[in-house]
Structures are given as structure tokens and as C-alpha cells.
Amino acid sequence: MSIAVYPGSFDPITLGHLNIIRRASRVFDELFVCVMSDSEKNPLFTHDERVEFIKRTTKRFPNVTVETSKDLLVDYMKSKGAKVIIKGMRAVSDFDREFQIALINKKLDPDIETLLMPSSEKYTYLSSTVVKEMAKYGADLSTFMPKEVIDDFISRVKSVGLYHKK
């Protein structure tokens, strides 16, 4: 059985993330989407909220399990019997960081491989940061985020005072 892990902060999940999940779920028998912490980011949503959002948007994929972990990624992978890390690549600018992380993970566990999956061209510009910025100004998010989570996302943006549209 082939098992992979797609780690990320997913704050919020975008259609780009969902595209990677859909494609990876076709390649692997089992895919774990794991909400991880990123010390460089200040999330709008808790780990549990992000897990719930992703579960809502991935329920049509029977081989996808959504969880959160505060463990080192390689330790989480060992607990799942996974040998492959999935990382989405939007542009060459993503490569340097992801390549460095892949080498570190390989050093920590030589049995782990990282698959850098290119984004579909229609999502190459899309990131959670871009979605947050557009939400501040009341932009239509329907072509950027799964419809199942847009209302909750906009409510949070408004409740934390990030919404600027009058």
C-alpha cells in the first residue's frame, strides 16, 4: 500500500491546495493531509479549525484522512507508515525552500522521499496569503477557495478586524 503525507499550514485551504490533494489522492492508496505549525506564520485559524475546513472540502475523497500534528514531520510519517511527502510547487520561487526542507527530511530519515508536485497552471498565483489579502477588501473568493469554507473564512477576517471594505 502506498501512503503519502501532504503537510502544510492550510490557513486557509485554497483551491490550489485542493487541486494537489485531488491529484495526489489518485496516485497514492492513502493520503494524509496534515495541518502542521509554521513558526514563520501567524495563523487566523486554530489547527482544529483548519482540520475541520479541510475535512469539509475533502469528504469526496475516500482515501484522504485529515489530521494535525505538532510532531516533527518525519516522526508523524513514521507513525502513519508513510514514505512520501507531497509538496505543491507554484513557481520556481517555491523550489529553494522546499528543496532545502526535502534534503533535511532525507537526512533525518533516508527512507523518506519528497515529491514536488507542480501546481496546475490556473493556481500558480494562488496562496493563502493572497486569499487573506483579497478577503480584507471584500473580493469575491469563489475562484480562490472551496465554497464550503468561504463564509467561515470571511466571518473570521471580519471578527479579527482585518476587513477594510465599507
Q: Which residues are catalytic?
A: 17, 41, 90, 128
Q: What is the C-alpha to C-alpha distance for residues 65 and 78, in angstroms, rounded to an integer?
A: 16
Strands across the sheet with 113-118, in order? 64-68, 30-35, 3-8, 84-89, 113-118
Instruction: Take residue 115 and report the three cell numbers written for it.
Output: 515529491
Host H or E run for residue 22: helix 15-27
Pairing of strands 3-8, 64-68: unpaired
Cα–Cα distance between 59 and 100 in angstroms, integer?
A: 32
